[in-house]
């Protein structure tokens, strides 16, 4: 599989739009913090949505345990997915190994986003001037247009060069060394990063009383793996179990209040 100039340009522009936070208003924040939609876009552009989403699902598990204090992330999920998914598709890489590629790329994207925020500080003078003059158009330009243009200038060329020239190079390297010790190590590291992401999420949002539900889901996926049950089916089962739990809990509370 080859990546054309048009494909690289479309993905690069998508990343620039997401990182500018202008696309779909506040929804762009979720697009930036989650790699799933970027993985879908990469799959559509490269013509292999199914494989792209499998790879992105592995990357998503890492960012389940990553938080963004003040809106700043140590690693940019959108950038990570936009590079790792094409690399994995072009090189036939295992999703776990793709995770190991996504992490350093995401770190570079994080530095670029920080530089974007630094450049945005120079835009404040235009906003201040607009406030002094009560000029709504100038305030809008300083708050929306100028930051968008800065993001476009920073991310679009960076992503285009990385996708057009970097992704094929890494993919060829993977094809030539896929059975080597290095890529075996990458696969193991990728699996470990996924486990860390899940563990951090459970630690932060999990209550001890809810741990049995997590263990139930884990052992169900292990014991029923031979049945090739889809993730959607597991999601429906999880919703039903959660609904039953809530109903039983509400009934117990109602009976307790009635007894009093």
H helices within the chain, ranges in order?
A: 5-20, 27-33, 36-46, 49-63, 77-91, 95-120, 124-133, 136-140, 146-161, 167-177, 181-205, 211-223, 231-259
Cα distances from 146 to residues 9, 25, 141, 171, in angstroms, run 21, 16, 6, 36
123 or 206: whose pLDDT is higher? 123
| pLDDT classification of 174: cutoffs 50, 70, 90 | low
The most confident of the ranges 46-50, 125-129, 210-214 is 46-50
Give phi and psi for 65, each to the nearest 5.
-105, 15
Closest residue by Cα to residue 105 from 46, 54, 163: 163
Give phi and psi for 206, each to the nearest 5.
-90, 135
* Domain ranges across the chain: 5-205, 207-260
C-beta of residue 89 within 8 angstroms of C-beta of residue 126: no
240 or 126: whose pLDDT is higher? 240
Q: Which residue has the tokens 């690693």?
A: 75
Mean pLDDT of the chain: 75
**Averaged over 241-258, what is the pLDDT?**
81
How many whole angstroms separate alpha carbon 68 and alpha carbon 82? 19
C-beta of residue 83 within 8 angstroms of C-beta of residue 101: yes
152 in the Ramachandran plot: left (φ > 0), alpha (ψ -120 to 50) or beta? alpha
**Averaged over 69-73, what is the pLDDT?**
55
pTM: 0.62
Q: In the prediction, which pLDDT does 260 show?
A: 58
How many whole angstroms separate alpha carbon 97 and alpha carbon 21? 29
**Averaged over 165-186, what is the pLDDT?**
57
Closest residue by Cα to residue 190 from 102, 105, 80: 102
How many whole angstroms separate alpha carbon 16 and alpha carbon 8? 12
How many whole angstroms separate alpha carbon 230 and alpha carbon 237? 11
How many whole angstroms separate alpha carbon 33 and alpha carbon 62? 11
């Amino acid at each position: 599989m080859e990546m054309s100039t048009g494909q690289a340009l479309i993905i690069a522009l998508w990343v620039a739009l997401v990182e500018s936070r202008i696309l779909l208003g506040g929804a762009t924040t979720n697009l930036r913090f989650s790699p799933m939609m970027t993985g879908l876009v990469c799959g559509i552009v490269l013509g292999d949505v199914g494989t792209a989403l499998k790879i992105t699902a592995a990357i998503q598990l890492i960012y389940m345990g990553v938080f963004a204090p003040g809106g700043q992330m140590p690693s940019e999920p959108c950038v990570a997915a936009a590079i790792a998914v094409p690399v994995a598709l072009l090189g036939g890489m295992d999703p776990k190994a793709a995770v190991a590629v996504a992490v350093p790329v995401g770190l570079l994207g994080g530095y670029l986003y920080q530089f974007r925020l630094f450049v945005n500080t120079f835009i404040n003078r235009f906003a201040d001037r607009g406030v002094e003059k009560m000029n709504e158009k100038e305030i809008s330009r300083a708050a929306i247009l100028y930051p968008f243009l800065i993001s476009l200038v920073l991310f679009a060329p960076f992503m285009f060069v990385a996708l057009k020239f970097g992704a094929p190079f890494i993919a060829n390297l993977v094809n030539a060394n896929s059975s080597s010790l290095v890529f075996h190590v990458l696969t193991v590291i990728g699996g470990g990063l996924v486990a860390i992401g899940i563990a951090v999420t459970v630690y932060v949002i999990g209550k001890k009383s809810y741990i049995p539900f997590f263990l139930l889901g884990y052992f169900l996926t292990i014991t029923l793996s031979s049945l090739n049950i889809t993730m959607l089916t597991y999601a429906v089962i999880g919703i039903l179990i959660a609904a039953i739990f809530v109903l039983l809990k509400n009934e117990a509370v109602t009976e307790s209040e009635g007894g009093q």
